[in-house]
């Protein structure tokens, strides 16, 4: 049984204050720029590239300017591409068995790390709402 | 509030491709649709949408405090007891929320009504923050809309500011079902904004997350610790996955945090109505097994506690199901919400998506359908302030 915390700890939260950003418009964007997405992420190809990318701003990079260093992983993740997962429309035609958790994790081959413990419940579904 | 038919940009598909917007057409059907736009007055935006959004968010936080502190409510929402401590701990630590989207019924006249709160894994933020803004700029430039047109949209800048505050320089992992185009696009966009905030990032599929037995902890494909992770994968799914049992023992901090599992549950609709009865921005709502549900009469909307994209939502009028969306949800139970028909603009039914970043109302998106239930096939239309 979970412990019930003292009441005094609850009910006091309010929305976090947003610090003023002098010079920036309140209700509209000034300039919407994409750092990397618009340069490497074009079409379905983008999604085969995305997993296993490690990115960091290049030295001296200024937010809003295209200066980022990305390096691919040492091995293919095998999880990209649109064919492995069902499209949004097929979400509704999936049977309920797709929602069961397998509970099986696979050994990664790198000692005591196991993988595959997330993703089985929502396999093939968009997690968005 | 008006729906205005307008010419589309003849090169918008190329523009979409250039910025990585790959899911503008889904299964051959338009998802992005700029053959019309919705026009608002500034007053409609500020008093009709922005202010109520902030107020509803504040009410939701008060409700979260009450639910998390009361086992009866957690049980009522069908949140597994094994995760109550995880949720409480994240609330007590004040684990930060990045964003959320309220879905509102609004016709420009009466008060906006909360239909639901996408508190955990809201999508469509890329098209709201970037592509909609690009449309505004180009539509003004090409004289498709008046030069004075504006847009309620500072999502992009606020995300960058929020990342700086929330991540505070820590390395960020982003994860989800990367094979799904829309989810992958959302992750790519949020990663982009995180990098613009100066963060280093790693993106991996949710299934690639590993668990290291020694010392205990989630790791990426390089077996590096995952200290801070943005997940576009619902909490209720994580709870049920095999690694769900390891969540409480891991030092990973998640965005959205575990306490958002409370607010993404449609059981908050009756709880909000109970806590703030007759609030002008709320609709009467009750749990289905609550005798008070009879107060709604024979017309209401039936929603599963856990549902996405309108799945398993039934619109009942005069005791008869008018419209029903198929789907796999409903095992956890249902709520009934008073019927608040969406406004009808020439046969199109728009739902307002009102965005919050770091609890600040900051943008608008509109999904439109010929059906009064917004579903997975509903189209995204841009908006302008005239």
In this structure, what token pair is assigned to residue A96? 């309920």
pLDDT at A31: 67
Q: Which chain B residues in 177-206 lie under 8 Å from chain A, judged by CB atoms?
A: 177-189, 191-192, 195-206
Residue B376 has its nearest CB partner, among A29, A92, A122, at A92
B305 lies within 8 A of chain A by CB: no
Which of these ranges, A51-65, A106-120, B40-54, B237-251, has the smallest mean pLDDT?
Answer: A51-65
For residues B113 and B132, what is the distance between their CA atoms, to the nearest angstrom?
Answer: 24
Q: Are B49 and B354 in contact (CB under 8 A)?
A: yes
Contact A50 B203 (CB under 8 A): yes
For residues B81 and B78, what is the distance between their CA atoms, to the nearest angstrom?
Answer: 9
Tell me phi and psi for residue B89, to 5 degrees: -65, -40
For residues B283 and B104, what is the distance between their CA atoms, to the nearest angstrom?
Answer: 11
Q: Which helix (H) or strand (E) holds B36?
A: strand B36-40
pLDDT at B159: 97
Does position A61 have pLDDT exceeding 70, yes or no?
no
CB pairs under 8 A between A and B: 325
Tell me the nearest-neighbour CA distance from B190 into chain A, angstroms.
10
CA dist B239 → A117, A120, B176, B260 (Å):
11, 11, 15, 13
pLDDT at A69: 61
B326 lies within 8 A of chain A by CB: yes
Q: Which residue has the higher pLDDT, A44 or B341?
A: B341
pLDDT < 50 stretches in chain B: none
pLDDT at A56: 65
Q: Which residue has the higher pLDDT, B67 or A54?
A: B67
pLDDT at A84: 23
- Give mean pLDDT, residues A1-13: 43
Q: Which residue has the higher pLDDT, A76 or B259?
A: B259
What ipTM did this prediction achieve? 0.88
Closest CA to B102 of B237, B234, B268, B300: B268
B133 lies within 8 A of chain A by CB: yes
For residues B149 and B139, what is the distance between their CA atoms, to the nearest angstrom?
Answer: 9
Closest CA to A97 of A126, A121, A117, A129: A121
For residues A14 and B207, what is the distance between their CA atoms, to the nearest angstrom?
Answer: 35
pLDDT at A111: 62
Which of A64, A98, A122 would best serve as a mutation to test chain B binding (most B beta carbons within 10 A)? A122
Q: Which chain B residues in 47-106 lie under 8 Å from chain A, judged by CB atoms?
A: 50, 54, 57-58, 61-62, 64-66, 68-69, 71, 81, 84-85, 88, 91-92, 94, 96
Render pLDDT for B327-340 as a digit per residue (tens, 0 to 9).
Answer: 667 778 999 999 98
- Give mean pLDDT, residues A106-122: 75
Angle CA B205–B354–A91, to nearest 5: 40
Mean predicted lDDT score pLDDT of chain A: 51
Render pLDDT for B88-113 as a digit per residue (tens, 0 to 9).
Answer: 999 999 999 999 999 999 999 999 99
Q: How confident is the model at residue A72 (pLDDT cuts 50, 70, 90)?
A: low
For residues B369 and B33, what is the distance between their CA atoms, to the nearest angstrom?
Answer: 11
pLDDT at B259: 98
Measured from the Cβ of residue B107, the count of other Cβ atoms closer than 10 Å reads: 19
For residues B9 and A123, what is the distance between their CA atoms, to the nearest angstrom?
Answer: 37
Q: Which residue has the higher pLDDT, B249 or A67?
A: B249
Residue A51 has its nearest CB partner, among B45, B156, B208, at B208
Which of A6, A41, A93, A94 would best serve as a mutation to test chain B binding (most B beta carbons within 10 A)? A41
């Amino acid at each position: 049984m979970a412990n019930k915390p003292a009441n005094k700890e609850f009910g006091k939260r309010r929305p976090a204050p947003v610090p003023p950003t002098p010079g920036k418009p309140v209700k509209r964007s000034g300039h919407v720029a994409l750092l990397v997405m618009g340069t490497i992420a074009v079409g379905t190809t983008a999604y085969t590239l995305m997993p296993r990318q490690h990115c960091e701003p290049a030295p001296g990079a200024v937010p809003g300017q295209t200066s980022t260093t990305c390096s691919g992983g040492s091995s293919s993740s095998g999880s990209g591409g649109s064919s492995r997962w069902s499209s949004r429309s097929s979400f509704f035609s999936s049977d309920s068995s797709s929602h069961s958790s397998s509970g099986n994790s696979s050994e990664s081959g790198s000692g005591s790390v196991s993988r595959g413990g997330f993703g089985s419940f929502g396999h093939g579904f968009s997690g968005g709402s | 509030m008006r729906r205005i038919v307008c010419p589309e940009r003849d090169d918008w598909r190329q523009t979409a491709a250039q910025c990585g917007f790959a899911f503008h057409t889904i299964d051959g059907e338009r998802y992005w649709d700029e053959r019309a736009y919705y026009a608002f007055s500034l007053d409609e935006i500020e008093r009709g949408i922005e202010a109520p959004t902030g107020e509803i968010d504040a009410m939701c936080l008060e409700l979260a405090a009450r639910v998390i502190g009361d086992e009866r409510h957690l049980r009522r929402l069908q949140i597994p007891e094994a995760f109550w401590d995880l949720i409480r701990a994240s609330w007590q630590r004040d684990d930060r929320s990045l964003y959320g989207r309220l879905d509102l019924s609004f016709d420009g006249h009466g008060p906006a009504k909360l239909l639901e709160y996408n508190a955990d894994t809201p999508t469509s933020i890329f098209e709201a923050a970037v592509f909609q803004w690009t449309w505004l700029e180009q539509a003004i430039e090409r004289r498709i809309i008046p030069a004075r047109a504006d847009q309620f949209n500072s999502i992009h800048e606020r995300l960058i500011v929020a990342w700086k505050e929330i991540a505070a320089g820590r390395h960020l992992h982003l994860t989800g079902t990367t094979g799904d185009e829309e989810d992958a696009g959302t992750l790519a966009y949020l990663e982009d904004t995180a990098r613009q905030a100066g963060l280093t990032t790693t993106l991996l599929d949710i299934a690639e997350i590993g668990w290291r037995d020694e010392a205990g902890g989630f790791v990426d494909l390089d077996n590096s610790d995952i200290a801070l992770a943005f997940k576009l994968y619902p909490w209720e799914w994580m709870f049920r996955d095999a690694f769900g049992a390891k969540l409480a023992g891991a030092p990973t901090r998640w965005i959205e945090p575990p306490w958002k599992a409370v607010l993404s549950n449609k059981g908050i609709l009756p709880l909000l109505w109970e806590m703030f009865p007759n609030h002008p921005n709320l609709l009467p709502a009750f749990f289905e097994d609550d005798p008070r549900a009879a107060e709604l009469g024979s017309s209401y909307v039936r929603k599963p506690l856990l549902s996405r994209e309108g799945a398993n939502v039934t619109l009942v009028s005069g005791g008869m199901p008018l419209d029903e969306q198929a789907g796999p949800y409903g095992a956890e139970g249902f709520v009934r919400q008073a019927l608040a028909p969406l406004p009808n603009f020439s046969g199109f039914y728009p739902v307002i998506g009102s965005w919050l970043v770091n609890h600040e109302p900051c943008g608008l998106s509109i999904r439109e359908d010929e059906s009064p239930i917004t579903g997975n096939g509903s189209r995204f239309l841009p908006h302008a302030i005239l």
